[in-house]
Chains A and B, each alone.
Chain A
């Protein structure tokens, strides 16, 4: 028969050592959880801010060039490009092909197209073709082509005037 043991004391009893240890472990776990939760919240808040910042910040609108500015810029680019163009290889090629049977009348250079338009006079068509052939072999020349020729009847020597289109190497 179990002993009668009625106890009307209602205040919490003193915790045992094991209960105290469990309490401490529980408190530590709770603190760790709270810390982890807070850290997660902070990280989430930080990411939200970064997302919001990325959404709000638009790349600065590039100033739309006004037409005058565009033309000036193009001109400046052209000039800069022309100044930077190395014409020396073309001049060297012409110097190498100089001879007495062909006379160079004019030279029109197009830097944008890397082309030369040469107008020259020769005694005969064969002399002109030979000269164009030698020009074709120069290092600075990619291609040289006879685009037009005519005999000048108004001159006493009746020279052959011809036009050569030269494409210069890069």
Chain B
């Protein structure tokens, strides 16, 4: 197939895992590297295969490699550079000085809601971009898993959206068309059993009370049992329980 074929390549990067898909062809490479930057040499080797050569590529990043923050409401519309500065300041407050070098993106919201930010390591973002350019890709997108998964979540989240991947749980709370709460943390074996307590804790930490609805979205974590909780309405979003790990993200 010509390298100029329009069929895009999707790459999923997760700790210890690189998954690639283009058309009907998929490949999963397991590695001992768990750090994002450490995955890139293996990715570079994989992309040497002519089967992956195309102009368009989308990289899906595990939420392990992404940090989110929700700033206080700015109270007025801000220009993009001020929005970015506000998000960076919020990240520094939580993660300290290393956040200064992170690559930051902002999800704008109305002034009465805070800005939702996402960040990845700046050196990793730069190296990944350079690698993809060097491999001949011209249309490039690098998105966190949450961006892709949100396409399959309820259009308006009035309540809680839990995004589960192997070893990580992302928590997003929304109301009135805005994101009101965000959190993320590693989880271990038996994480499903702790979900009601986790959500209760996050509800207590939220600045405002959010609707008592929860959507559980599992991607690559196998089968999910819908928790039972007297105070919350739980729903489990459709997922393919047969797919494990980053392979599950290729078909999103």
A161 to chain B, nearest CB (A): 123
Please state if B120 and A4 are interface contacts (CB–CB under 8 Å).
no
Give A104 to B20 CA distance when docked, in angstroms. 141
Please state if B107 and A2 are interface contacts (CB–CB under 8 Å).
yes
Interface flag for B142 (CB, 8 Å): yes
Q: Which residues from A are CB-within-8-Å of B143? A: 5-8
Most chain A Cβ neighbours within 10 Å, of B108, B138, B146, B150: B150
Interface flag for A3 (CB, 8 Å): yes
- Which of chain B's residues 224-243 have a Cβ closer than 8 Å to chain A? none
Interface flag for A16 (CB, 8 Å): no
Q: Which residue of A lies closest to B130 (CB)?
A: A11
Q: A10-B125, A11-B133 are in contact. Are A4 and B139 (CB under 8 A)?
A: no
B109 to chain A, nearest CB (A): 8
Q: Which of A1, A5, A8, A14 contacts B120 (CB 8 A)?
A: A8
Q: Which residues from B are CB-within-8-Å of A7? A: 105, 141-143, 147
Q: Which of B107, B133, B156 contacts A4 (CB 8 A)?
A: B107
A125 to chain B, nearest CB (A): 124
Interface flag for B11 (CB, 8 Å): no
Q: Which of A2, A3, A6, A14 contacts B105 (CB 8 A)?
A: A6
Q: A9-B140, A9-B141, A10-B103 are in contact. Are A4 and B147 (CB under 8 A)?
A: yes
Interface string of A53-83 (1 = CB under 8 A from B): 0000000000000000000000000000000
Give A4 to B109 CA distance when docked, in angstroms. 11
How many chain A residues sit at the interface, stated as a range, is 10 to 19
Please state if A4 and B146 are interface contacts (CB–CB under 8 Å).
yes
Q: A9-B140, A9-B141, A9-B142 are in contact. Are A4 and B103 (CB under 8 A)?
A: no
A3 to chain B, nearest CB (A): 6
Please state if A3 and B140 are interface contacts (CB–CB under 8 Å).
no
Interface flag for B126 (CB, 8 Å): yes
Q: Which residue of A lies closest to B107 (CB)?
A: A4
Give A11 to B140 CA distance when docked, in angstroms. 8
A137 to chain B, nearest CB (A): 111
Q: Which residues from A are CB-within-8-Å of B120? A: 8
- Which of chain A's residues 8-22 have a Cβ closer than 8 Å to chain B? 8-11, 14
Give A84 to B69 CA distance when docked, in angstroms. 115
B211 to chain A, nearest CB (A): 13
Give A10 to B104 CA distance when docked, in angstroms. 11
Q: A1-B156, A1-B157 are in contact. Are A8 and B150 (CB under 8 A)?
A: no
Q: Can you pick out 16 interface pairs between chain A and chain B where the beta carbons lie within 8 Å of each other?
A: A1-B179, A2-B109, A3-B147, A4-B116, A5-B147, A6-B105, A6-B107, A6-B118, A6-B144, A7-B147, A8-B61, A8-B103, A8-B125, A9-B129, A10-B126, A14-B138
Interface residues of A (CB under 8 A from B): 1-11, 14
